[in-house]
Every structure is written in C-alpha cells, then in structure tokens.
C-alpha cells in the first residue's frame, strides 16, 4: 500500500534511518503510514488556507501528501541533511508527476527547537520526532507565536507518548478534541492512535 501510494505520488519515502548524531533526544526516521494519514484526513480534513507544519518531516511524505490532497501550504522541517536532500528530490519528482497539483510545499533544514513558528501556520503534526524536553520547548515557542498572532491552532499527534500527552493536558491550554484509534495496524496496541488538540 505505501509503496504503491509513493509510486503514485512519484516519491520515495519508505525505510528507516537512525540518526547517528548528537543526541539521544532525536528519534529515527520512519514515515507515517498513508492509511494513518487517511484516517486523520477523513476525521479532520484540512481546510483551504491552512498551513501545516510537520516537525521532523524526514523524506517529506506528510507535507507532500497533505498539499496533494488539500491544496494547502505545507512546511516540513528536519535536522537531518540526508533526509532533507531526499525530501527535496521527492518534491521535484512529485512536481514532475503532478504538474497541476495544488499547494505550496516548503522544506527547511533546522532543529525543531530553533524553528520560529510563522503567524500563518496553524496545523502542527508530530510523529514521535524527539524527546519530551524538545517537544516542550517547541510547544512553548508555538504558544508565544499564538499569543503574538492570535488564531486557532491544531496539534496532531500520531502514536503519542504518555509523556507528550501528560504535558499537553496538564501544562498547556491545548484541549483534546478528538481521538482516532487505528486498530487495523495493531489490534492490541493502544498507542496506535491519533490525538488532536486545539487551542484558540
């Protein structure tokens, strides 16, 4: 399924990549399954004018597929240059395969904890990219941006850790608006789910 969807989009996003650098805070690359993205999009479709950010985008599956499905603007950031290089190649081959297709797609090589959230960005996606400490600093920085430019913002978490959930629910104004179980990937695994939080 993932191979054929990649092929249809003209991209290559499968596989894993351990990050052999710097810090145990940074998790390895593995793409969100398309079936999971389809569950999210069925439950909460992106809206015209949304600007999605994928924190730790790897080879770019989430920004490319989101822009393809909804014509929205999508930004992917990742600290790993090798993955980002593949994301750029994927963007080029996607544009060749789907010339008339939709939204703007932007990739940027940076550490998430250094990234300044832009006032037009309002949907933020996380598939276990990094440690709780980094997640906290990203969220606090995001809340600053939301205070400076008030707007509604959604956080989408796939396969969330208990630590992420506890932090969001105890220490931030984000409220959980939806839980989407993904039982078809692993029946007895309760972590196999998407949580959506909203503020504003």
Q: Is 141 exposed, middle or buried (0-12, 13-18, 19+ CB in 10 A)?
A: middle
Q: Which stretch binds ligand SAM (CB under 6 A): 67-75, 111-119, 177-185, 189-197?
A: 111-119
Q: Which of 5, 6, 11, 26 binds ligand SAM (CB under 6 A)?
A: 26
Of residues 163-182, which lie at the interface with ligand SAM (CB under 6 A)? Answer: none
CB of residue 27 to ligand SAM, shortest distance in Å: 5
- Is 40 an interacting residue with respect to ligand SAM (CB under 6 A)? no
- Residue 86 C-alpha from the chain's centroid: 17
Contact 155, 124 (CB under 8 A): yes
Give the DSSP per-residue string, 80-96: -HHHHHHHHHHHHHHHH
How far, in Å, CA of 35 to CA of 138, rounded?
Answer: 27
* Number of other residues whose CB lies within 10 A of the CB of residue 107: 23
Report the residue number, 184 or 200, with the smaller CB distance to ligand SAM: 184
Residues touching ligand SAM: how many (CB under 6 A)?
Answer: 26
Q: Which stretch binds ligand SAM (CB under 6 A): 96-104, 128-136, 146-154, 164-172?
A: 128-136
160: left (phi over 0), alpha (psi -120 to 50) or beta: beta
Nearer to ligand SAM, 81 or 173 (CB): 81
Kind of pairing between the strands at 51-55 and 193-199: unpaired
32 near ligand SAM (CB under 6 A) = yes
Options 71-79, 141-149, 163-171, 172-180: segment touching ligand SAM (CB under 6 A): 71-79
Q: Give the count of beta carbons closer than 10 Å to the beta carbon of residue 108.
A: 13
Residues lying near ligand SAM in the complex (CB under 6 A): 19, 26-27, 29-32, 54, 56-58, 61-62, 77-80, 83, 111-113, 127-130, 134
């Amino acid at each position: 399924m993932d191979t054929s969807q990649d092929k249809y989009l003209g991209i290559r996003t499968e596989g894993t990549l351990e990050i052999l650098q710097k810090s145990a805070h940074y998790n390895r690359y593995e793409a969100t399954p398309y079936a999971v993205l389809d569950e999210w999009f069925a439950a909460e479709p992106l809206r015209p004018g949304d600007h999605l950010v994928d924190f730790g985008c790897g080879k770019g599956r989430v920004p490319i597929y989101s822009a393809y499905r909804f014509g929205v603007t999508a930004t992917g950031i990742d600290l790993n240059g090798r993955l980002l290089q593949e994301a750029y190649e994927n963007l080029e081959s996607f544009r060749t395969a789907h010339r008339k297709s939709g939204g703007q797609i932007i990739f940027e090589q940076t550490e998430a904890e250094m990234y300044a959230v832009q006032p037009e960005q309002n949907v933020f996606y996380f598939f276990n990219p990094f440690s709780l400490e980094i997640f906290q600093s990203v969220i606090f920085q995001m809340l600053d941006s939301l205070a400076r430019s008030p707007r509604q913002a959604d956080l989408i978490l796939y396969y969330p850790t208990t630590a992420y959930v506890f932090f969001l629910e105890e220490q931030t104004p984000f409220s959980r608006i939806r839980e989407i179980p993904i039982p078809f990937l692993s029946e007895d695994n309760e972590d196999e789910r998407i949580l959506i939080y909203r503020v504003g």
